[in-house]
Amino acid sequence: MIYFDNAATTEVDKEVIKTMIDVLENTYGNPSGKYYDQALKANKIIEEAREKTAKFLNSEEDEIIFNSGASEGNNHILKGVALENKGCHIITSNLEHNSTLKACMDLEEVGYEITYLKGNSLGVISLEDLKKSIKSNTKLVSIIWANNEIGSVNNIKGILQICNEKNILLHVDATQMVGKRKIDLSDFKIDFLTFSGHKIYGPKGVGVLYIKRDRYGLFPDLKPLISGSQEDDQRGGTYCTHNIAGLGKAIEVLENIQNKYIENLNNLEGYLLEKLEGLPLTLNGYNKDSKVPGILNIQIPGVNNEIFIKENSEMLALSTGSACSLSKPSHVLENIGIDKFKIRNSIRISLGKKNTIKEIDEFINILKKYI
């Protein structure tokens, strides 16, 4: 099996599995318990994972909140800011992950005004459009950093500068950015950042929400999505200790190999692009000057994407893109100007650390048979 769907999820690293099994077998205490050994051991595991995450992002440890993943984090920020700022205006884009878009639709249903900035043909938003959309009651801007379908990267530094000038909170969905580019939150002083463990060779069902504290050590006004006393009252619920331990190990492994990992993704993508040259294909939204490595979206004229994927499912793992099917084409491709017929000829290729040159050659041979 050639696995080219790493943007959907990644294989859990063997070191992560070992860590999680050890926790499951030996540390069953509730991390919120006090005094007795099992609880203290469990709490230590949670705090070690928090320390690793903060080090990786170059943030403070008490700015790291563990949750179930980026979808929860995106909902937490959008709804949490809205509930604490009744009647506020929120800005996002029409190229966001569905968890962001649907959270915004939920808010619209109860009377909040949402502006959806239009991305260009390369999948990025205009800073000028952002400036023009700001109102006196704009409280939050929520923008994806690296697009999950085409890999394009938004100008977060430029967006942050605009938000700072207008005293507006900025949330960044960094799910596809983490690992593929280095992130230094001492440099990018954004207010909120979200990502998931299963995109970086960790377990599913666990993620990170970064919330920047102000100079007094306080969080922005934010209503919890899940109420409870854990995570400094920001995210209730008993800690999933083994998942958080697995996330911490995945981040530790990634930090140790990140330079090599990014280099390998760049090399694999470069080789794949060379092999695609000369074939009657189109790259959707390819932004060579600003993209993360390892995500390409290609259009194969005359070849239905779902049929192609189904017919090759024993050999290939690919995706038509997020929320894309015969009945519901990708909103990302549609919003960068690709018509529905061409969208149905499009597939997403997302590379990972275990992919090889040989696999790319095999994939190209399969493609040529269809072309």
- pLDDT tens per residue across span 277-305: 989 999 999 999 999 999 999 999 999 99
Name the percent of the chain in helix, strand, coil, to the closest 5.
40, 15, 45
The domain locations on the chain are: 2-8+258-370, 14-252
Residue 323 has pLDDT above 70, yes or no: no
- How far is residue 209's CA from residue 67's CA, in Å, rounded to a whole number? 7
- How far is residue 6's CA from residue 198's CA, in Å, rounded to a whole number? 10
Name the class of domain 14-252: alpha beta
Confidence grade of residue 370 (pLDDT, cut at 50, 70, 90): confident
Q: Name the CATH superfamily housing domain 2-8+258-370.
A: Aspartate Aminotransferase, domain 1 (3.90.1150.10)
Do the Cβ atoms of 57 and 255 come closer than 8 Å? Answer: no
Confidence grade of residue 311 (pLDDT, cut at 50, 70, 90): very high
The CB density around residue 161, as the number of other CB atoms within 10 Å, is: 13
Confidence grade of residue 35 (pLDDT, cut at 50, 70, 90): confident
Residue 11 DSSP class: P
Is the fold of 2-8+258-370 the same as that of 14-252? no
Do the Cβ atoms of 330 and 238 come closer than 8 Å? Answer: no
Catalytic residues: 324
What separation in angstroms does the CA of 143 have from each of 1, 117, 159, 190, 209? 34, 10, 9, 11, 15
- Residue 101: both structure tokens together: 């878009």
Confidence grade of residue 326 (pLDDT, cut at 50, 70, 90): very low
Residue 340 has pLDDT above 60, yes or no: yes
Q: In this predicted structure, what is the pLDDT of residue 328?
A: 74
pTM across the whole model: 0.95
